[in-house]
A = this chain, B = another copy of it.
Amino acid sequence: MVTKLETMNKEKKEIKTNLEYLKKLFIMPDSPDKFVEFGHELLEMIHDFFNEKGGIHSSISLPELSMIFDRTAIPDEPHLIKDVLGEIKEKVTAHSVKVGNPYYVGHMISAIPYFMILMEMIIAALNQNQVKIETAKASSFVERELAGWLHRLIFNRSERYYQKNIQNPRVALGNVTSDGTIANLTAMMVAREKAFPSEEGFSGIRMAGVDSALRHYGYERGVIIVSTRGHYSIRKAANMLGLGEENVLNIPVDDNNRMDIQRLHRKIKSLEKEKGKTKIIAIIGIAGTTETGNVDNLKELGEAARETGAHFHVDACWGGSALLVDEYRPMFEGIEEADSVSIDAHKLLYCPMAMGLVLFRNEKDLHYLMQTSNYIIRRNSVDMGRFTIEGSRPFASLKPWASLKIIGRDGYKLLFKSARENTDSFANILDGCGNFETLNVPELFIVNYRFIPQPVQERIFQLEEERKTSIDKEHQKELARHLHKVNRIINALNIKLHKAIRMDDTTFVSRTTLESTRYRPQNIVVLRAVLTNPLTDRDILKEIVETQNRIGGELWPEFETAIRKAANRKAHSGEGGSRNAEVGRSIARSKSRKV
């Protein structure tokens, strides 16, 4: 009798030694049965994943996961596809983060349309490499068309301009990049080359390096100016480009998280006073800060850049796609005068991870990066690899290209309207609850807030009011110290709350630290919700706030005594005790109120 084990071993042996078996893997099966069978299995797997009850992050601990993925060497023997799919289902899918879950409103990631999966199938099947026309034919044209569309959306040059340039391989309206970081890096690299070009007696920063460039042009350093809200990719770019992170000058923001224009001008003036020691390479405006979703005053920033001769880049990785809706255009006023703009497709274009775009107003700016090589991108070729930081690149552009057709501007308009409504709802629900303080004026779908029981909020306002109106400097200082201490405790409370929300795992928001709230210059820990998932609705948002209010209430007693001490040391009247009793009542109230 042949045992099951023997059969399995035989099967394994067969795939082990057989090139014919392997070759078959490389051919799209003639009868699609096998493929469709796997496709069905996959769909079920994906379904299970999305419909599974329970946590957003799966309850497994990180040390437990370590033990699942602890194989230290590559397997020798081939495994059957269905076995590996089973393993993926059990080990990977089961413990993946449900980033598309409507209760997951914590990061710039959302549900994506299912047709994106179809697009990925096409991209993989065609397997074009965008670096070169010999490995990417129609796909090169798709990519250029897409870049043209977004260029027009931003810079809105003439129809004639686009007719002339959209498929002109001698120029490049922009690059499709791996992500926003590489998009920003591309822009900064172009800015750097523009700042220190080649000329008589100097081969250019590209050939000679930063050191020689500074020396040749008589500068001591090159700087990049961005607000304190600047994405960390800017610092990374300054490091990478050899300028040094110290030479990213962060200008403080106003209460709306926008670069303080007065301070920008002061900074520029002080740099000018250094008698040409500093070259301002770029000024960066942000169109949708990562932390707060606010948009810089791009018009003023652009003017400042032009006055100083700096490259004006707009990091619109988050918000740029909102230009698809005319109503948002005023928020971006001035973006059309930027030298370059970056946009992420995996953010508001709802594409899967990951794809960035960087567009250049001047179709010749990317010539600063132009490179050639004998075997891959010959001089005078029409290969897109001439202009990109990456070498081999996938045909990722198909996703936003198809999506802009399938959803259309009209569709994106509806999606952004929904995001806007969810943002407003969420802020309203938080305000209505009473135990949360909202801390930004949301522009592009991001709400910053913190848990802080209503009576404590009132107490803080009282302390603030008293501080502002007091004429006794010593007393003012004392009050400021108290406020500081209270906020420190509230910070700790919100860090703990965030961890508890993660443990609870039925809802998810993220957390950051801001210095631009009403408590500046103190850093305030805030919870951060990003409300772009079209599957999220008002009821879900209510549940999210209720959950967080409940968990906050449970944590509160632990912080109560400390807050009482901090808040009342100043209040010589000794009313602290009753205040804190009041806090407990307030939480109970808002719990029953069901926000």
CA distance A63 to B116 in the complex (A): 29
- Of chain B, the residue at the smallest CB distance from A148 is B72
Chain A, residues 391-408, CB within 8 Å of chain B (1/0): the string is 111110010001011111
Chain A, residues 22-60, CB within 8 Å of chain B (1/0): the string is 110111111010011011101111110110000001101
B232 touching A163 by the CB < 8 A rule? no
B72 touching A99 by the CB < 8 A rule? no
Complex contacts, A534 vs chain B, CB 8 Å: 19, 22-23, 26
A139 touching B406 by the CB < 8 A rule? no
Question: With an 8 A cutoff between CB atoms, is A268 at the interface?
Answer: no
A75 touching B167 by the CB < 8 A rule? no
Known: A62-B382, A68-B141, A137-B97. A405 touches B84 (CB 8 A): yes
- A88-142 contacts to B, CB under 8 A, are 88, 91-97, 99-100, 106-107, 109, 111-130, 132-139, 141-142
Known: A152-B73, A180-B392, A374-B291. A141 touches B66 (CB 8 A): yes
Known: A95-B138, A145-B71. A77 touches B408 (CB 8 A): yes
Known: A138-B91, A243-B209. A180 touches B26 (CB 8 A): no
CA distance A210 to B246 in the complex (A): 12
Chain A, residues 437-479, CB within 8 Å of chain B (1/0): the string is 0000000000000000000000000000000000000000000
Complex contacts, A382 vs chain B, CB 8 Å: 62
30 contacts across the A-B interface (CB closer than 8 A): A19-B417, A27-B50, A28-B47, A28-B50, A30-B47, A32-B44, A36-B43, A42-B125, A46-B125, A57-B134, A65-B137, A66-B141, A68-B138, A74-B153, A74-B404, A87-B405, A96-B137, A107-B132, A120-B120, A120-B124, A178-B178, A179-B392, A205-B244, A208-B246, A210-B243, A211-B221, A232-B372, A232-B391, A291-B375, A375-B513
- A310-359 contacts to B, CB under 8 A, are 324, 344, 346, 350, 352-354
Residue in B94, B231, B375 whose CB lies within 8 Å of A290: B375
Closest beta carbon of chain B to A56's beta carbon, Å:
9
- A198-228 contacts to B, CB under 8 A, are 203, 205-212, 214, 220-221
B134 touching A209 by the CB < 8 A rule? no
Complex contacts, A25 vs chain B, CB 8 Å: 113-115, 406-407
Copies in the complex: 2
Question: With an 8 A cutoff between CB atoms, is A489 at the interface?
Answer: no
Question: With an 8 A cutoff between CB atoms, is A539 at the interface?
Answer: no
B392 touching A97 by the CB < 8 A rule? no
Complex contacts, A392 vs chain B, CB 8 Å: 179-181, 344, 346, 353-354
Q: Using a Cβ–Cβ cut-off of 8 Å, how many residues does chain A contribute to the interface with B?
A: 188
Complex contacts, A512 vs chain B, CB 8 Å: 374-375
Question: With an 8 A cutoff between CB atoms, is A561 at the interface?
Answer: no
- Of chain B, the residue at the smallest CB distance from A145 is B69
Residue in B44, B209, B391 whose CB lies within 8 Å of A233: B391
Known: A22-B534, A47-B32. A27 touches B209 (CB 8 A): no
Known: A244-B207, A376-B232, A392-B354. A69 touches B167 (CB 8 A): yes
Chain A, residues 148-161, CB within 8 Å of chain B (1/0): the string is 11101100000100
Question: With an 8 A cutoff between CB atoms, is A240 at the interface?
Answer: yes
B112 touching A124 by the CB < 8 A rule? yes
Complex contacts, A210 vs chain B, CB 8 Å: 209-211, 242-244
A73 touching B246 by the CB < 8 A rule? no
Closest beta carbon of chain B to A152's beta carbon, Å:
6
Question: With an 8 A cutoff between CB atoms, is A570 at the interface?
Answer: no
CA distance A45 to B543 in the complex (A): 45
- Of chain B, the residue at the smallest CB distance from A153 is B74
CA distance A405 to B122 in the complex (A): 24
- Of chain B, the residue at the smallest CB distance from A152 is B73
CA distance A168 to B201 in the complex (A): 51
CA distance A167 to B65 in the complex (A): 9
CA distance A17 to B411 in the complex (A): 8
CA distance A533 to B27 in the complex (A): 11
Complex contacts, A49 vs chain B, CB 8 Å: 125-126
CA distance A78 to B402 in the complex (A): 10
